[in-house]
Chain A
Amino acid sequence: MKKNIQIRMDHLWFHYHDRVVLEDIRIEIEKNAITAISGPSGQGKSSFLMVLNRLWENIPGARVTGRVEMDFGKGFEDIHRSSLPVHRLRQRVGMVFQTPNPLPMSIYKNIAFPLTLMGEKDRAKIAFRVEAALKKAYLWDEVKDRLAENAETLSGGQQQRLCMARALAAEPTVLLLDEPTSSLDEASVRVIEDLLLELKKSCTIILVSHYMDQIQRIADHCLVLSDRRLRPDTAKGRDI
């Protein structure tokens, strides 16, 4: 048994129209650790991540039942309860998508964007946190002289690190990553992996990855999603 639990899921079902995508998921996810989710394509790994920040609510025909609780420092809270506005949840549960999705604005504004959303007005504080986030994502040296340029002019790998920096600027408690390194070259992959190892000190990371070697290198726990069920990857001896 783990002592430090961040997320608890009980009887979680995910339906897409009449199709069952996730069936009766019951798991606990450890705080300040990297939990990897692997498994065949099209089995609902992305859907699983979207349960955790309630982004599934944007998908027409999707339905989730069951209980998901997270500990944001005040004990376990049901993430679906009506007193928790969904945008507050998403400010604490950051997400980086498989395909980089910078917003059509400058590099600086992209990183400052979550702070703007939270109502931060202090320019000096914003500038400080933008720089810190870009440094964390190992992007600062490459973009510090072109912060006013449109973020969509960056290369694919740089865009992915930008999205990572943007998610970090909000200082989330939980970070969801959907195959964040699939569009990156080997060197950038290592950079991101080092970043994740560093980040887990302050953040709980859930990583969807196809790469078993990557999971071996950085994950503390591994779960496999197949046949609609999420099971510990006992074959790797990394039972959670």
Chain B
Amino acid sequence: MDFQDRVFRTVFFGASVLSAGVTVAVLGFMILLSLPVLKMGFLWEVLTSPWSPGRGQFGILPMMAGTLALAFLSLLVSLPVSLGCAFFMEILHPRGAGALLKKLVHFMTAVPTVIYGFVGVFLLVPLVQEFFAYGSGMCILSASLMLGLVISPTLILFFSESFSRVPQHYLNAVDSLGGTVFQKLRHVILPQAWPGMLTGMVLAFGRAMGDTLIALMISGNAVLMPSSLLDSTRTLTAHIALIFAADFDSTEFKILFISGIVLYAMTSLGILFARYFHKRALS
């Protein structure tokens, strides 16, 4: 191995160690900061009780539920639309309209989330309020619709990438046997593209869980266990942002580090599940 090779190897190895190290260090840092709360011995209470600081209750269960509800619903909203969009772009019209659409989707990834938030607040929220004639319109439904839009470029680009990697000779085989485009999608493209699509779904789900602005601006931020689509809810991320902006030494503030760890753990669990299913799908 010559000198240049060795330098490249060392640089790349250093870069991967650094990025993996930072990820682990963040977790370590969060655990370190939450030690004072952990030592007080009410971790279980924090994870299971409601949030009512006035009565000395600092539970984050409603926020955990709100986070999961929003992430699941936004994925549910985004999935069929993204699937259709990717299919149109990659299979039905790979040139012309499809290529144009793809450019547009790429552009969507560059739009700051706060813009979607504005559109949500001034367009979607009044619509939802008017349609259901209930509450302020700042609710789980509005937030998950807008969050669905925010995560859709991730889904669309992952789906279309997975579709484009289906070997051409499989597609030729179905075409030459007289399959319609939808039969081709159902029998060959979806089964083949499934592992890649799953990865996209997990990343989009992670993005939905980690999003702060949409939840903060549109979901209403009431600390309630979500029970209906028209309920207001607060996510862990929004909770952290709200408390952080107002406080820096109270118990409420210290609990934030636990919230951070829980968010970290939820995202990691999602990724582990995806890895497991990905492996199963491949085998």
Point out residues on A near B: beta carbons under 8 Å: 53, 55, 58, 60, 85, 87-92, 94-95, 97, 99, 101-104, 113-114, 116-118, 163, 166-167, 170
* Contact between chains at A116 and B180 (CB < 8 Å): no
B169 touches A87 (CB 8 A): no
Q: Which residues of B contact A (CB under 8 A)?
A: 94-95, 169-180, 183, 187-188, 191-192
Minimum Cβ distance to chain B for residue A208 (Å): 14
Interface centre among A101, A102, A116 (most CB of B within 10 A): A101
Given contacts A87-B178, A103-B174, contact A60 B188 (CB under 8 A): no
Q: In the complex the two chains form, is B175's CB within 8 Å of A91's CB?
A: no
The 8 closest A-B pairs by CB, nearest first: A91-B178, A90-B178, A101-B169, A95-B176, A101-B173, A87-B178, A114-B177, A117-B179
Chain B residues within an 8 Å CB radius of A90: 175-178
Chain A residues, Cβ within 8 Å of B171: 58
- Among the listed A91, A104, A118, which residue makes an inter-chain contact with B192, where contact means beta carbons less than 8 Å apart? A104
User: In the complex, what distance in Å separates the CA atom of A105 from the CA atom of B11?
Assistant: 44
Instruction: Give chain B nearest CB distance to A9 CB in angstroms.
Output: 20
Contact among B176, B191, B192 for A94, CB-based, below 8 A: B176
Q: Enumerate chain A residues within 8 angstroms of B172, measured Cβ to Cβ.
A: 55, 58, 97, 101
| Bound complex: CA A89 to CA B176 (Å) | 9
Q: Find out whether the CB atom of B176 lies under 8 angstroms from the CB atom of A118.
A: no
Closest B residue to A176 using CB positions: B176
Q: Are A113 and B177 in contact (CB under 8 A)?
A: yes
Cα A97 to Cα B171 with chains together (Å): 13
In the complex the two chains form, what is the Cα distance from A96 to B95 in whole Å?
A: 28
A91–B177 CB distance below 8 A: yes
| Given pairs A88-B178, A97-B173, A117-B183, 11 additional interface contacts (CB within 8 A) | A55-B176, A58-B172, A58-B175, A60-B94, A87-B179, A91-B177, A92-B178, A94-B177, A103-B188, A113-B177, A117-B187
Interface centre among A55, A60, A87 (most CB of B within 10 A): A87
Name A96's closest neighbour in chain B (CB-CB): B176
* Structural contact, B178 and A117, CB atoms closer than 8 A: yes
Choose among B94, B178, B187 the residue with the greatest number of A CB atoms under 10 Å from its CB. B178
Q: Hey, which chain B residues are within 8 Å of A104, CB to CB?
A: 170, 188, 191-192
Which chain B positions have C-beta within 8 A of A167?
176-177
Say whether B173 contacts A103, CB under 8 Å: yes
Q: Which residue of B lies closest to A57 (CB)?
A: B175
Asked if A97 contacts B176 (CB within 8 A), the reply is yes
Residue of B nearest to A100 (CB): B169
Which residues of chain B are near A101, meaning CB under 8 Å?
A: 169-170, 172-173
Chain A residues with Cβ below 8 Å from B94 are 60
Among B170, B173, B176, B187, contact of A116 (Cβ-Cβ < 8 Å): B187
Contact status B169-A53, CB under 8 Å = no
A152 CB to closest chain B CB (Å) equals 11
A99, closest chain B residue (CB): B169
Q: How far is the CB of A148 from chain B (nearest CB, A)?
A: 16
* Residues of A close to B187: CB separation below 8 A: 103, 113, 116-117
Tell me which residues across on chain B come within 8 A of A92, comparing CB atoms: 178
Alpha-carbon distance A102/B177, docked complex (angstroms): 12
Can you list 23 A-B pairs with a CB-CB distance of less than 8 A?
A: A53-B176, A58-B172, A85-B180, A87-B180, A90-B175, A94-B177, A97-B173, A97-B176, A99-B169, A101-B170, A101-B172, A101-B173, A103-B173, A103-B174, A104-B191, A104-B192, A113-B177, A114-B177, A114-B178, A117-B174, A117-B180, A117-B187, A167-B177
